[in-house]
């Protein structure tokens, strides 16, 4: 969504919030003179403070909700599922009637959400789908398959694969096996790249090349940890790149993995310049934008988390007002028990030349955050 559209959307939802606040039966101020909205006690659980994007996601959603007159409890779980489950249980015990959950392990939340349902809470899966349970009502995310498609297409364009160029050495990576998004990211990219692996324009010297999308988890990096992607890349470089053999391209599904991969390449002697590999990413984290400015990373797929927060905020207000919840996809996200009605947002590619306009001028990051 363009910035202008985004501002209009916020203004519109602000209007809903105001009218809701005006109609609310409680009349009690929610703080700062805002009137509280009845039935808007929101429990938000996010995976970790270790990744910049989740900090932004959580804080912005909490702020929007509180400004509208909802109560919002925001918790981070240090990437530990047990911790996330007890946070959700505490929120339910504390009377939350709407849960917004960015799951750590999308498969393990079933029992906690069953408890939520005994209290008639409405559950929104935030960014990551919750799977294997009936008890998830809505899903809001960026189009995860499209994220991978954008990474794959970028690689095809940069290498000139459609014109027959190659062979090039590729090292592919995938995200955390417990994150349902990771399979979509990989499938989007692999549907674009696999034909070039099969015809020999792309070669994977390490052999870490899934034969199909279904094998994606065989190259997954647990917990999206930079330390683990670095160790894996170190291993591939020392075992399979002897002599003059060089990596030409690394498919990294996100920025945290890219950080580890960049560190590994650097310690193996790679430096930006003509022979430096293409490296993809996702999230437009500040550390990675700095790396893009230094030509150490080629691109990131930017998901403007402000628009995701606004979308979820709209959903919450619609649920609180007992209105129909706006979704735009009722086919893609089958969680094994049901197709979860979803709202999908558009991700977009950011390269060095886009940083000023897309990220800084729009206020997503400050110039000073990335040394500009």
Give the binding site for ligand BGC (CB under 6 A): 51, 53, 127-128, 179, 181, 224, 254, 256, 282-283
Residue 62 or 128: which CB sits closer to ligand BGC? 128
∠ CA 142-228-265, nearest 5°, is 95
Q: At closest approach, how far in Å is the CB of 262 from ligand BGC?
A: 15
CA distance 266 to 236: 14
What is the rounded distance in angstroms from the CA atom of residue 74 to the CA atom of residue 59?
A: 8
Write down the least CB distance from residue 7 to ligand BGC, Å: 24
Q: What span, in angstroms and rounded, lies between the C-alpha atoms of 120 and 142?
A: 27
In the complex, the smallest distance separating the C-beta of residue 165 from ligand BGC, rounded to whole angstroms, is 30
Looking at beta carbons only, is 184 or 190 nearer to ligand BGC? 184
Nearer of residues 175 and 205 to ligand BGC, judged by Cβ: 175
Residue in the structure block whose two tokens are 């979803």: 342
Specify the residue, 152 or 205, whose C-beta has the smaller distance to ligand BGC: 152
Taken in order 64, 66, 67, 68, the sign of the CA dihedral is positive
- Least distance (Å) between residue 79 CB and ligand BGC: 9
137 or 179: whose CB is closer to ligand BGC?
179
Which is closer to ligand BGC, CB of 168 or CB of 186?
Answer: 186
Q: Which is nearer to ligand BGC, 105 or 283 (CB)?
A: 283
Question: Cβ 223 to ligand BGC, closest distance in Å?
Answer: 9
Token pair 């039935």: residue: 39
The Cα-based distances of 274 to 116, 156, 248, 295 in angstroms read: 55, 18, 10, 11
d(CA 358, CA 349): 10
Backbone dihedral angles phi then psi of residue 302, each to the nearest 5 degrees: -90, 125
Q: Which residue is nearest to ligand BGC (CB)?
A: 254
CB of 132 to ligand BGC, least distance (A): 17
Q: How far is the CB of 78 from ligand BGC (least distance, A)?
A: 13
How far from 321 is each of 22, 132, 369, CA to CA, in Å? Answer: 12, 28, 39
Please identify, using beta-carbon distances, which residue of 137 and 304 lies nearer to ligand BGC.
Answer: 304
Residues linked to residue 122 through DSSP beta bridges, in sequence order: 98
Q: Shortest approach of ligand BGC to residue 14 CB, angstroms? A: 27
Which ranges constitute the DSSP H helices of the chain? 3-23, 52-68, 81-93, 110-118, 144-159, 180-198, 226-240, 255-267, 286-293, 305-320
Strands (E), the chain: 41-46, 71-76, 98-101, 122-126, 138-142, 168-172, 202-203, 249-251, 278-279, 300-302, 342-345, 348-350
Smallest CA-to-CA distance from 169 within 94, 231, 248 is with: 248
Q: Give the residue with the Cβ less far from ligand BGC, 173 or 224.
A: 224
DSSP conformational letter for 298: -
- Rounded Cα gap, residues 366 and 210, in angstroms: 39
For the bound state, the minimum distance from the C-beta of residue 110 to ligand BGC, rounded and expressed in Å, comes to 19
């Amino acid at each position: 969504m363009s910035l202008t559209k985004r501002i209009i959307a916020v203004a519109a939802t602000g209007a809903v919030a105001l009218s809701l606040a005006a109609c609310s039966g409680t009349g009690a101020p929610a703080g700062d003179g805002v009137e509280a909205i009845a039935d808007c006690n929101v429990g938000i659980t996010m995976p970790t403070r270790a990744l910049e994007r989740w900090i932004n996601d959580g804080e912005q959603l909490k702020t929007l909700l509180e400004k509208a007159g909802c109560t919002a409890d925001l918790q981070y779980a240090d990437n530990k599922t047990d911790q996330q489950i007890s946070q959700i249980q505490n929120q339910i015990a504390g009377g939350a009637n709407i849960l917004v959950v960015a799951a750590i392990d999308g498969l393990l939340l079933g029992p906690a959400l069953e408890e939520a349902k005994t209290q008639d809470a409405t559950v929104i899966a935030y960014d990551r789908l919750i799977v294997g349970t009936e008890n998830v009502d809505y899903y809001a995310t960026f189009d995860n398959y499209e994220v991978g498609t954008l990474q794959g297409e970028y690689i095809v364009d940069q290498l000139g694969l459609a014109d027959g160029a190659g062979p090039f050495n590729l090292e592919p990576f995938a995200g955390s096996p417990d994150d349902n998004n990771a399979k979509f990211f990989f499938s989007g990219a692999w549907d674009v790249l696999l034909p070039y692996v099969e015809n020999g324009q792309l070669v994977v010297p390490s052999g870490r090349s899934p034969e199909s999308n279904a094998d994606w988890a065989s190259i997954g990096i647990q917990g999206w940890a930079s330390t683990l992607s670095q160790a894996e890349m170190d291993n591939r470089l020392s075992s399979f790149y002897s002599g003059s053999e060089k990596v030409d391209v690394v498919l990294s599904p996100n920025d945290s993995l890219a950080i580890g991969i960049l560190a590994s390449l650097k310690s193996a002697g790679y430096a930006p310049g003509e022979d430096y590999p293409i490296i993809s990413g996702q999230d437009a984290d500040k550390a990675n934008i700095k790396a893009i400015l230094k030509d150490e990373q080629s691109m990131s797929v930017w998901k403007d988390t402000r628009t995701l927060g606004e979308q979820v905020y709209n959903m919450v207000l619609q649920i609180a007002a007992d209105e129909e919840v706006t979704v735009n996809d009722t086919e893609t996200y089958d969680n094994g028990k049901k197709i979860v009605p979803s709202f999908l947002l558009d991700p977009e590619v950011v390269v060095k030349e886009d940083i000023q306009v897309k990220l800084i001028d729009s206020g997503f990051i400050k110039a000073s955050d990335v040394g500009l």
